Structure 1
Amino acid sequence: MTNVQEFPGGRGARRVLVTGASRGIGRAIATAFAAHGDRVAVHYGSARADAEETMRELAGRGHVMIGGDLADPEAAHEVVSTAVRDLGGIDVLVNNAAVAPGPDNRHPVATTTYADWNRAWRRMIDVDLIGAANVTHGVATHLIQRGAPGSIVNVGSRGAYRGEPDYPAYGAAKAALHAFGQSMAVALAPHGIAVTSVAPGFISTDRQQAKLDGPEGDALLGQSPFGRVGTPEEVAAAVLHLSSPEATWSSGAVLDLNGASYLR
């Protein structure tokens, strides 16, 4: 399912696929690339209306909206194929799509039934890790066949290091995503493709606003010595930099974006 804006052409614009770009961090990343003059494929899983809102916020023209559940390997392959077709190629991939922690998928080991435990693990691993791996395979193959350099940036999490006791599948998936990115950095460097990851801490997306406004808000703000939480725009700025040719030598790095709330 796609929606394409007319594009009059332009020199120097990169073609960027951002998965999970319907809201929050993904929307901020898509917005940053568009403001930079790039053309963006806005991927969404099921929230089409939110993705349409992202499209309305993008500067410039020639952007593409693509739907698909990345837990489905065929859908992941189709997302890449559609982005290549409608953008005319892909130069940058941002693996942002994820099943984020929430009340409906909380699964602490001591109080979670075996059935719910398996559902949480299967869904988070399928989207947050395997979905990202499948999209990466498609984009990397496309770049290699073109003989073109490129950049891949994975959006991981502080939870990969700090631990996620209420959402262990999420922490494990993000830790594996960091490790996957480093494997790809080594594998793809001979092809001129740089691979990096970012590991955000708590970010003030609209999805998280209720927590910030609730009784745990002060504790969340107090996690960082800055006395605040991060913003989607701060994550987007880091992703934009890591995707740039100037950051190629950062390939293999995992950049902490947590306001010194967790040091390793």
Structure 2
Amino acid sequence: MRDDLIDEVTALVREVAQTIVLPRWRNLSGAEIHQKSPGDLVTIADQESERALAAGLTALLPGSQVVGEEAVAADPGVLGRVGDAGAVWIVDPVDGTNNFAAGKTPFAVMVALLRDGETAAGWILDVVADRMTVAEAGSGAFIDGLRVKTRTDDPGAAGLTGSLSRTYFPDGLRERIEARIGAVGAVTGGRHCAGYEYPAIVSDEQQFATFWRILPWDHVPGSLIVQEAGGTVRHLDGSAYRPTDADLGLLVAANEDIWRSVHTALYA
């Protein structure tokens, strides 16, 4: 990867967040918020942020393609570009839109770069905190320029804190998990923002997160960040996660032992 590309994308994401996203927070009219599907909102900030990011990212890498959440909402066929050869940018212009539209936190701007279908780099900016988490494949993960590592011990399921995003789980699986959830120390429903959950595992605010719906803009950036920090990201059946995957839940954990502890407690 070009030596200055990480810094250039970091600067672009921060600029878009500060000039487009943040000024709209707690400053949206009703006409600037729409429902794409029941419970799934989009705002003018999502749309303007994606346009600015797409223009900036393709200028940094001429010939690259962009797969953005709002572009896919307008044309589902765009999603098929994720596995294309060459450079493909994955863009979540405002992750946690429902929080953003309600004037709450957390919400984030997320970008990932794929090369020939493999994740090469990922960026997550917590917009209000102005906290940037970045990873490059093979080079580690960093929060605001400082290298970070996930914890290496496993206190056992009863000593763990994590999040379980139940919304999209099939009924039978949801019921089975909820019957077993007492085996884990503390489980929240999540913060409705993958851009919060992944860095929270790296910084040990929580030790795991589990998801069912795995759209690439929600999970490609964070999965690389967690793995580069020493964590584990796998499907519930134990198979490796790939950017093109869409139909199996994910369990993300601070390390392999914690992944197994949570999987045994909730899913095995």
Q: Provide TM-score, normalisation by structure 1.
A: 0.26
Higher helix share: 1
